[in-house]
Amino acid sequence: MEQTLAEKILSANSLTKKNARAGDIVIAKIRTTMAHDGSGPLAIKRIEDNQFNLSNPKNTIFFVDHSAPAARAELANAQVVLRQFTEKTGSKFHEAGSGICHQVLVENYAMPGTVLIGGDSHTVTAGALSCFATGMGSTDVAVAMHLGKTWLRVPETIRVQVDGKLSKGVYSKDIILTLIGMLGEDGANYKSLEYRGSTIKNLSMESRFTLSNMAVEAGGKVGLIETDKTARTYLKAHDRENQ
């Protein structure tokens, strides 16, 4: 039986099982890890309390985007923690005003066939680039930053087939809201939503990001779209086709 996208990506990145199937537990290597000013301070505390080093500073990324500018002293102080830590460790830092983390990730870091872990539920946005991108809590993110790997249960897949031409005034947001209405808020718990069909192929990357971004609203672990010419053109436009 043909592997799903989730199975293919986790098999390719697994350090323990190379023909992974839904339900298998794998230890997967991570290419990119991120946290923002909401999740980052606790992740940094876990790292410093345990005297962890960073396995891959250049692909460990922190953002100030959720409270920008900071409205209270404690939020401003939390952002100072991120600035000091990234300066000390050589990890990447995106200052307030440089963009929302999910958009910056897809423009600069997320790559097809890799694993991306983020301290935010909408990390799933990058799944539109065939990246197994998923959110985790700050402690798991801290461990991932230290080890460069994490454990994952390979998710079952719900294949979402969408065909036909969208009517005027109908967009990818309408597709995903309709799907969530069909599945319910927990209908895809820990599952991979794999979007496919002629409608998906004709969507822009921006529209695809909307589909992947909202997979989590139905409980999805990831929201994946197979890499095609549109995705490769997008990567080339952002100088990442050869990474």
Of residues 242 and 151, more confidently modeled = 151
The pair phi, psi for residue 149, each rounded to 5°, is -155, 165
Task: Judge whether 221 and 192 are in contact, CB under 8 Å.
Answer: yes
pLDDT digits (tens, 9 = 90+) for 175-186: 999 999 999 999
pTM: 0.96
Residue 211 token pair: 């589909």
pLDDT over threshold 80, residue 160: yes
Average pLDDT over residues 112-116: 98
Q: What is the pLDDT of residue 242?
A: 65
- Of the candidates 34, 32, 96, 21, the residue with the CA atom closest to the CA atom of residue 61: 34
**Where do the domains of the chain lie, and which CATH numbers do they carry?**
5-153 (3.30.499.10), 156-235 (3.40.1060.10)
Residue 94 token pair: 């995106």
Average pLDDT over residues 180-201: 98
pLDDT bracket for residue 118 (50, 70, 90)? very high
Q: What is the pLDDT of residue 198?
A: 98
- Of the candidates 130, 204, 201, 126, the residue with the CA atom closest to the CA atom of residue 162: 201
Q: What is the pLDDT of residue 204?
A: 98
pLDDT digits (tens, 9 = 90+) for 6-56: 999 999 999 999 899 999 999 999 999 999 999 999 999 999 999 999 999
Structural Rg of the chain based on CA atoms: 18
pLDDT bracket for residue 94 (50, 70, 90)? very high
Q: What is the pLDDT of residue 71?
A: 86
pLDDT over threshold 90, residue 122: yes
Among 46-60, 206-220, 228-242, name the one with the lowest average pLDDT. Answer: 228-242
Average pLDDT over residues 102-122: 98
- Mean residue pLDDT of the chain comes to 96
pLDDT over threshold 80, residue 153: yes
